[in-house]
Structure 1
Amino acid sequence: MDQPMPPGSRPAPPLSIERQGHVAVLSFSRPPNNHLDRGLVIALAEALEGLDADAEVRVVVLAGAGRHFCAGADFSGGDSGGLDTPADQPGQTLYRQAARLLRTKKPVVAAIQGAAIGAGLGLAVLADFRIGCAEARFAANFTRLGFHPGFGLSATLPRLIGAQQASLLFYTGRRIDGARALQIGLIDELVAQEAVLPAAIALAGEIALSQPQAVQSVRATLRRGLADIFEQAIEREFEQQLWQRRMEDFAEGRRAMAERRAPDFQGR
């Protein structure tokens, strides 16, 4: 059954938590593409922090409801895509809030049934494991929009798939499917689209059979220092994005994305 979300100071995007034994399925829903913004990141962080305090939960499955996992930030309504710092909270950017996700304690399995694009890819990469399907699509498409990758991907993606493959995705902005993602280690299992969530829950259940403190301690060992590296990376990323989002090319990148065509960048 759905459980109430941890209390927050702002209205939360639609989230639900369903418990299956020692596994909690944390789902977010923002139709049609599950675009990510600062409010959603805060809500996810609060939910994961709440689950950390629940001794009955040992593993979390993270799922985006509907066709897609998360299509990243939404640039269709304005220049910032929700990336700017709130005027009343200096420094508390979307990326700064995302750092909270890396400081939670329990393993996370992401269920990726569709698009994981841009910041949505960043969210997927923060999980410990990813289950995908042939229909899933992955892209670090920032440079195709005209600016530097963000959401800590400059730190997390090379760590997961190696510097060479990460550079290829960053430089080209290309979109890859689930089969290619499995080849390069971006996902851990490839299953039928309808089996993505059940497979993620099954993997989480297998992890939950292990001694919970032992799992959390080895996770902390394997991830030691990663949150600090992530925070250093997001400072650099945001600094670069600030001036690049003022360029004419960024406006062209957004237009090209909306018109589903290749951008015509002029280097200004």
Structure 2
Amino acid sequence: MTSDLALSQSGFVTTIEIRRPPLNFFDLLLIRQIANAVEAIDKDPSVRAVVLAAEGKAFCAGANFNEPAPSPERSVGDTAIGHLYLEAVRLFSARKPIIAAVHGAAIGGGLGLAMAADFRVTCPEARFSANFTRLGFHPGFGLTVTLPEAIGETNAALMFYTSRRVTGEDAFKMGLASVLVAQDQVRAAAFKLAEEIAECSPLGVVATRATIRRGLANRVRAATEHELAEQTRLRATEDFKEGIKAMAERRVPNFKGR
């Protein structure tokens, strides 16, 4: 396992820790590593639940659009994102429960990663944002499916249209997060929830989860195809260039609608 990811097991619970501090920006390689880890865990009868956590300031701040001269594997261009979404769909095909320990920001695709989990444990300091329209962009990572299914169409639309940052408290109130604790207790609370799940019949949990999430991976796969098409179209616009520039300059974007 590379230094980008660390796995540890205690009892029937495995913790997957993202190690790209401080902001844990993702790329195709990282999502592939996580998907590979999850698939390996699915084949391991000694593991009954997974905690997805991260070190550093953020849980995952999304893709790094400011990365200089990216290589194809790390690119946010059309082809790489297409492959990244294929890797992301693998996460939604996981058989065992995943609890995301969101101790900091989950932004853009980072929110998409958090939504691949069954539950999110968070804290008041965390921030959740589908900030795509703020970039002149379209949501991705299957969020057009997962977010409305988790918090309802109205709340999801509010997050998409405004690109606002939702606090941990508000995330808990709207059902985006299942548990709200102090920041230094997020990982412990996520692990406690995983242990509670692991005490139940593993066959029963896997079967029940498969029923509840039936068709989810297929819905996400179809959604990401549409999301990618829209992202590809919008990436060529002046507004997208302005959105990325404004983000880098930490200012309000001045969109022209072209």
TM-score normalized with structure 2 length: 0.95
Q: What is the one-letter code of the residue matched to 2:149?
A: R
Equivalent residue for 2:204, pick from 210, 214, 234 = 214
Aligned-partner Cα distance in 2 for 1:77–1:245? 16
Q: 1:78 to 1:240 in 2, by over 3 A?
A: farther
> In the comparison of the two structures, how many residue pairs are matched?
255
Deviation at 1:13, TM superposition (A): 5.3
Give CA-to-partner distance per residue, 1:115-143, whole Å, 9 cap, x none.
Answer: 00000000001100100000000000000
Looking at structure 2, the residues matched to 48 and 32 of structure 1 have their Cα atoms a distance apart, in angstroms, of: 23
> Structure 1 residue runs of 4+, over 2 Å off?
77-87
Matched, 1:153 2:143: yes
Q: Aligned residues: percent identity?
A: 51
Pick the aligned partner of 1:21 from 4, 11, 28. 11
Deviation at 1:258, TM superposition (A): 1.2
- 2-structure distance, mates of 1:152, 1:86: 17
**Are the equivalent residues in 1 in contact too, given 2:82–2:228 (CA < 8 A)?**
no
Task: State whether structure 2 residue 75 is matched by structure 1 residue 82.
Answer: yes
Displacement of 1:176 after TM fit? 1.1
TM-score with structure 1 setting the length: 0.92
> One-letter code of the match for 1:189?
V
Q: Which runs of 5+ in 2 are unaligned?
A: none
**Selected match of 1:108 from 79, 98, 101:** 98
Q: Helix, strand or coil: the match of 1:186?
A: coil
Could you list the runs of 5+ residues in structure 1 that have no partner in the other structure? 6-11
Q: Could you tell me how far 1:262 is from its partner in structure 2? A: 1.1
Q: Is the 8 A contact 1:112 1:196 kept in 2?
A: yes
The two structures, once aligned, show a CA RMSD in angstroms of 1.6
Distance 1:13 1:242, change over 3 A: farther
Aligned to 1:122: 112
Higher helix content, 1 or 2: 2
The yes-or-no answer on 1:228 pairing with 2:218 is yes
Deviations 1:142-172 (A, max 9, x none): 0000011000000110000000000000001
